[in-house]
Chains A and B, each alone.
Chain A
């Protein structure tokens, strides 16, 4: 049975695809910040796409307490097994006693480590996602700490058999989030319910200015720095209404906040735009200081984009390496 001990982390939690169906009771969805990278990691190790896995900000170090299979996706980083460099976006065999070292992100900021098998965690309201503010899900509702053990059940399957069926899987460069980050971050939005309170000048400003991700961003929301939207300030607080990941709130300070995975279920600030779901994955990978822009998308196109994204999350494509495949290519 795959078993890993956490040796070191900065901020890591167990997440899955999210906790749906309880928002009317105030329970946030939570789940992986970058869902595209999370489902890729799961499929690389043969797990269902939405299975629980480790989400890590910054480096993480794990020791195999028994033979295990893992895959690392998300931010571009350097990884090594017992000091020997290995590739991201590939299934990795971790022999008992070996140490997997995942370095600091080079491009992006969130790293996913999937472990082959069903990892044991607190399943509450149908999800293993850790919601630290509520203290539930994951391992004891808190971030991982050194000494924690992540156990995965293969349900009777032999690890060697699993390995032989998945060991050639990989995600090519174009399918990785780092590739998209290199093109620059443009968040596609549709107008929000309070678009009407913005002056046309301010709407134009939102769509033409470059904002940067502020340091006071977390799993609940990403704050942006940039020119304030003066016309939204007039509105102040509204009667609370339901909000979600991707909603662009404008509090009285006039600079936008994009709500993210742990977003509160209701809010009272004007929502001037809504980011299409796949682009919230991209924003999740933007560390403080990253420039981001907004671009308007028609609602029909937004529906098409979302439909495609939902299908991808349910069955993400991974490739199989052929003869002549070089690990070095995968690594770079």
Chain B
């Protein structure tokens, strides 16, 4: 499929690879993202930001004009081998489910006619792909969740969702890297630190990486509180 390419404001180019949200389309977004990022300097590109099915390329119009970028994108898209993103890395995230850590868990389970235990078992049984990071620093958009535990957003978003909270919105599950307002249904919270602005990079998880959650108790939560997230080798 030919991507839709649109120039924006004289300094950015919007590239939409497909209209739907799917892991396959998202994989192509990541591949194009890594391909463009590795050629950024040569192209006069200053930053590339990937999302679900699209990405935005920021450029310096003193060095390059949007038509050249559009041409480069079309060439990269035609070239099948660029659609091999770097091998994904894996992360395991411990979570206390329910109670004060996951205030929406019981309601979410009853909405789907499941017991809380079943709901948690289903949530922890899949390896999720990181579709994108965005909205707030280090917020992870992960998917897809099993349709049996898909629940809609809250009607009224919360003013404050604690850092580390794990939520569900539709077929997506997400993790709040910092405290922020939010409308996802919160089912649990991790004690490990996934976003630290004083580190570079501030979060080790990149678009395309794999994340799996596992259940822990409150004692373990206290032991792991503040521990920096590590890649699983």
Q: Please report A residues at the B interface, Cβ cutoff 8 Å.
A: 20-28, 124-125, 131, 133-137, 189-193, 239-244, 246-247, 264-266, 274-277, 297, 299-307, 310-311
Interface pair B135/A299, CB less than 8 Å apart = no
Selecting from B50-58, B87-95, B97-105, B121-129, the interface stretch reads B50-58
In the bound complex, residues from chain B placing their C-beta under 8 Å from that of A244 are 12, 56, 58
**A243 CA to B132 CA in the complex, in Å?**
13
Interface string of B68-96 (1 = CB under 8 A from A): 00000000000000000000000000000
Contact: B7 with A299, CB < 8 Å?
A: yes
B133 within 8 A of A: yes
A266 in contact with B132 (CB, 8 Å):
yes
Q: Which of B41-49, B111-119, B210-218, B222-230 contacts A (4 or more CB under 8 A)?
A: B41-49
A190 engages B8 (CB within 8 Å): yes
Q: B60-71: contact bitstring with A at CB < 8 Å (1 yes, 0 no)?
A: 111001100000
New contact pairs (11) apart from A131-B137, A239-B20, CB-CB < 8 Å: A25-B202, A125-B200, A133-B136, A193-B6, A240-B52, A242-B54, A244-B12, A266-B135, A276-B9, A302-B10, A306-B10
Instruction: List the A side residues contacting B48 at CB < 8 Å.
Output: 24
Given contacts A23-B49, A302-B9, contact A310 B136 (CB under 8 A): no
Q: Is the CB of A266 within 8 A of B137?
A: no
Q: Would you call B16 and A242 a contact (CB within 8 A)?
A: no
Would you call B7 and A240 a contact (CB within 8 A)? Answer: no
A136 and B132 CA atoms in complex are apart in Å by 22
Query: Could you say which residues of chain A place their CB within 8 Å of the CB of B198?
Result: 124, 136
- Which residues of the other chain, B, contact A266 by a CB distance below 8 angstroms? 49, 51, 132, 134-135
For B53, B54, B197, B206, which residue has the most chain A Cβ atoms within 10 angstroms?
A: B197
CB within 8 Å of A: which residues of B?
Answer: 6-12, 14, 16, 20-21, 33, 46-56, 58, 60-62, 65-66, 132-139, 141, 177-178, 180, 197-198, 200-203, 206-207
Cα(A258)–Cα(B130), bound, Å: 29
6 contacts between A and B (CB under 8 A): A24-B33, A25-B133, A244-B56, A266-B134, A274-B8, A311-B62
Contacting residues, chain A, for B62 (C-beta < 8 A)? 307, 310-311
Among B14, B55, B58, B177: residue with most chain A CB under 10 A: B14
Cα distance A64–B97 in the bound complex, in angstroms: 53
- Residues of chain B within 8 A of A304, CB atoms compared: 10, 61
Contacts of B66 in A (CB 8 A): 299, 303
Known contacts A242-B55, A266-B132, A26 near B6 by CB under 8 Å = no
Closest partner residue, chain A, to B19 (CB atom): A239
Chain B residues with CB under 8 Å of A306's CB are: 9-11, 61
* B residues in contact with A125, CB < 8 Å: 197, 200, 202
Contacts of A302 in B (CB 8 A): 7, 9-11
Contact of A242 among B21, B134, B141 (CB under 8 A): B134
Measured in the bound complex, the distance between the Cα atoms of B128 and A58 in whole Å is 47
Instruction: Known A25-B203, A135-B178; judge A240-B136 contact (CB<8 A).
Output: no
Cα–Cα distance between A246 and B8 once the two chains are bound (Å): 10
Q: Which residue of B lies closest to A278 (CB)?
A: B10
Asked whether B202 lies within 8 Å of A193 as measured between CB atoms, the reply is no
Q: What are the 9 closest A-B residue pairs judged by CB atoms, nearest first? A: A302-B10, A266-B134, A274-B9, A242-B56, A242-B49, A306-B10, A303-B61, A136-B197, A303-B10
